[in-house]
Structure formats: C-alpha cells, structure tokens
Amino acid sequence: MSGPVLVLGTGLLGASIGLGLSRLGVDVRLSDPSPTAQLVAQDIGAGRVLAPGDALEPQLVVVAAPPDVAAAVVADALRVYAGATVIDIASVKASILRSLQDDVAAGRLGAEQLRRYVGTHPMAGREKSGPAAARGELFTAMPWVVCAHETSDPAAVRVAGDVAIDLGATVVRLDAAEHDAAVALVSHFPQIASSLLASRLMNAPAHALALAGNGLRDTTRIAASDPKLWIQILSHNAPELVTILHGLREDLNRLIATLEAPDAEGAHLDLAELMSQGNAGQARIPGKHGAPPQAFAVVTVIVDDRPGQIAELLTAVGEAGINLEDLRMEHSSGHQVGLVEMSVLPGRSAELTEFLTQRKWKVIQ
C-alpha cells in the first residue's frame, strides 16, 4: 500500500489494521465517532486522528464499523473520497452489498461510485473489542476473504487484496453469498455453540466450576464475545444459520434418545459414531497457513519505554513462580510505551495476569 489509508471505526479490527499498516510505514488516518476509541488507537500507534477539515485524498478507506452501520459508512466514504477504493471488513457480506445496490437503485449512490467498493472479511479476531485489544500481527497467516461484486473495478479488487497481503494474510476470493454460507458454518455457528454451552454454566454450583479445566476453557473462549456485535452478525446471516441449527437439532434429538436408553441395542455404536464424526470434522480444520502452532497463552503488558522496566517485569514474573516459555516486545512507533508479550503455559495465564495486575502492571485483558 502506498497510502494514505483512512480507517473509519477504530475498535479492535480498525486499530489492528492501523497498527499493522503503520508499522509498514503507511500513512494511516483514524476516525471514530467515539473520541476515546480514536485517541486510544492513536496512542498505541495505529495512525493519526483525522482532524476536522483535513483535506485527505486516501488511496484506500477501510470501514471497520459494526455491520449495522457498515453500508451507510461505505456509501458515505464512496461519495466523499472520489478517488479512493473503499473496503469494509464486516463479518457478513451479502446484506451490506444489497444495501449499497439499493442505494444505487434509489439514486442515493452512483453506479460508478459502487465500482470502487469491495467487501472483505479478515478471518481473524478476538473475543475482545476496542482498540486496547488491537494487535498489528492479528492477520498473519490467516485467511482474508475478498468479495468482488459484479461491477467491482479490478483496480479496487487489487487494492483490497494488497492490504490483506501487506498485513500477512492469505487472500481467498469468494462472492458474498458463498462467503456468508461458509462463515455461518465456521464462525457464526461456533459462536452460537460456545454461547449456548457457556450459558449452561450460569447457575452451576461453585464447586463444579472450580473443577473447570482446559476442555471447558477451549470450548467457551468466544462465549466472552461482545453481544452488541454478535446480535448484528447473527441476525444478518439468519437464513444460513437456521439451516445449520435444524441439522444440529436432529443430531441432538438422536443423542438424547440414545442417552435415555444407554444400554439399548446399538446405543454404544451411536455414541461411537458421534465421536468419530466429530474426529473426522475436526481433522478437516486446516492449521494457520504457515504459522507455528500456538501451544502457549500470551499475557500482554504495557510498559513505559524507559530503562529497567523489562527487568522489573521479569523479576515480578519470577516472583510469581511462573516459567516464561517465550517473550516478545512490540514498540508503538512514536509513543512512549511498549507491549511485552509473554508466552506461558495456558493453565498459568490467569494466575500471572492476576499477580501482575495486583502489582499495578498494566495487563491488557
């Protein structure tokens, strides 16, 4: 990317894109209706806040706003920034494209303007929101879907692919409907399954929860995701999800019947089939494209950029009695802070976070 790049919406995703591009030397400008989100994104090094009246001619506008408002923000950007490619990164694609096409049909947007729009979706994120949780390397070795539409300008499609590649992602080309069907299965349904599972814990007795091990943690991490965002994602992709949930209901009914008579003829075979079908499905999930497996949990601490800080931090980790498996340091260019990423065994990360937080270290949650 040559830039400038304007990021509209500087939450988790917008700030992560800003951080990654800024690190590559691209001029990134930031804008968000929340002044706090803008300033935090600027402070961590994701770019510079766009001042009112700034005459900017961006090469690319990245709309990183929630799905409900993404189409309106894209349409606005297409009208305001006449030369720019405009992409959005929302988790659903067909409803946003439909809304923009309706704008064209109603004369609110020019057909020529729509040619500069390309829908995209990085398949990378976190269960946290807001710019404080942003990571410049979030997209490394992850898929990034580029959904050209019938009238997309090939030059705009190229720019959309370039930003994904510059951020280390692997470009996957699909149309909007194919995208929505695919992510219903591999992203939206897992969110529902995790939320349903975790909701069973609401009234669980404390002694049961005290026994929770990695099985429960692995299957419920994303149940901590932001409800405001997911209400939008699930409702925008409802028809695809309903089909999957009907299939799940059939499987559940069969499992209930089997477990109601666990010694009946064929019951054990049924359970074996359930498990082996799960094994077969799990074995089909590809690893990160070329990235090493993530065996450790990462605890991230913001440190002031002054002598002795890292030594103090490592001493504190030693006092906690926790072994560091790996250590990385990220600098926010131009700012007086660094991010120290410490890899520890997954079972120790909560303990380390609590220990450091009590000692007033700024641990990013």
Ligand X SMILES: O=C(O)C(=O)C[C@]1(C(=O)O)C=C[C@@H](O)C=C1
The residues that touch ligand NAD, with contacts defined as CB under 6 A, are 8-14, 32-34, 37, 64-67, 69-70, 73, 89-91, 122, 125-126, 129-130, 229, 233
Interface residue with ligand X among 48, 126, 217, 288 (CB under 6 A) is 126
How many angstroms separate the CA atoms of 75 and 173, rounded?
A: 22
- DSSP annotation string for 126-142: -S--SGGG--TTTTTT-
How many angstroms separate the CA atoms of 100 and 108, rounded?
A: 9
Question: Could you say which of ligand X, ligand NAD, none residue 222 binds, taking C-beta under 5 to 8 angstroms by partner kind?
Answer: ligand X
Cβ-based burial of 213 (10 A; exposed 0-12, middle 13-18, buried ≥19): exposed
Question: Could you say which of ligand X, ligand NAD, none residue 101 binds, taking C-beta under 5 to 8 angstroms by partner kind?
Answer: none
Q: Which is nearer to ligand X, 113 or 232 (CB)?
A: 232
Question: Could you say which of ligand X, ligand NAD, none residue 70 binds, taking C-beta under 5 to 8 angstroms by partner kind?
Answer: ligand NAD
CB of 345 to ligand X, least distance (A): 20
Listed ranges 14-22, 99-107, 117-125, 288-296: which one lies at the site for ligand X (CB under 6 A): 117-125
Question: Could you say which of ligand NAD, ligand X, none residue 64 binds, taking C-beta under 5 to 8 angstroms by partner kind?
Answer: ligand NAD
Q: Which is nearer to ligand NAD, 223 or 267 (CB)?
A: 223
Helices (H) and strands (E) in the chain, counts: 15, 12
CB of 122 to ligand X, least distance (A): 7
**∠ CA 304-306-308, rounded to 5°:** 105
174 binds ligand X (CB under 6 A): no
222 binds ligand X (CB under 6 A): yes
In the chain, how long is the greatest CA-to-CA distance?
Answer: 76
Pairing mode of beta strands 5-8, 28-31:
parallel
Interface residue with ligand X among 27, 127, 341, 351 (CB under 6 A) is 127
CB of 319 to ligand NAD, least distance (A): 34
Interface residue with ligand X among 140, 187, 195, 309 (CB under 6 A) is 187
Helix then strand then coil, in percent of the chain rounded to 5, is 50, 15, 35
How many angstroms separate the CA atoms of 338 and 313, rounded?
A: 12
Q: Cis bond leading into 286, ω under 30°? A: no
CB of 110 to ligand NAD, least distance (A): 21
Is 121 in contact with 272 (CB distance < 8 Å)? no
Q: Which is nearer to ligand X, 284 or 306 (CB)?
A: 284
217 binds ligand X (CB under 6 A): no
Q: Which is nearer to ligand X, 71 or 222 (CB)?
A: 222
Q: Which is nearer to ligand X, 123 or 141 (CB)?
A: 123
CB of 350 to ligand X, least distance (A): 17
Closest CA to 274 of 256, 260, 299: 256
91 binds ligand X (CB under 6 A): yes
CA 75 distance to own-chain centroid: 23
Tokens (6 digits) for 363 = 């641990």
Closest CA to 95 of 116, 71, 125, 113: 71
Q: Which is nearer to ligand NAD, 10 or 113 (CB)?
A: 10
* Paired residues of 119 in beta bridges: 88, 147
Question: Could you say which of ligand NAD, ligand X, none residue 97 binds, taking C-beta under 5 to 8 angstroms by partner kind?
Answer: none
Q: Which is nearer to ligand X, 43 or 127 (CB)?
A: 127
Listed ranges 61-69, 71-79, 121-129, 341-349: which one lies at the site for ligand X (CB under 6 A): 121-129
CB of 279 to ligand NAD, least distance (A): 27
Q: Which is nearer to ligand NAD, 149 or 274 (CB)?
A: 149
**∠ CA 196-198-201, rounded to 5°:** 120
- DSSP annotation string for 158-201: HHHHHHHHHTT-EEEE--HHHHHHHHIIIIIHHHHHHHHHHHTT
Footprint on this chain of ligand X (rule: CB under 6 A): 91, 123-127, 187, 222
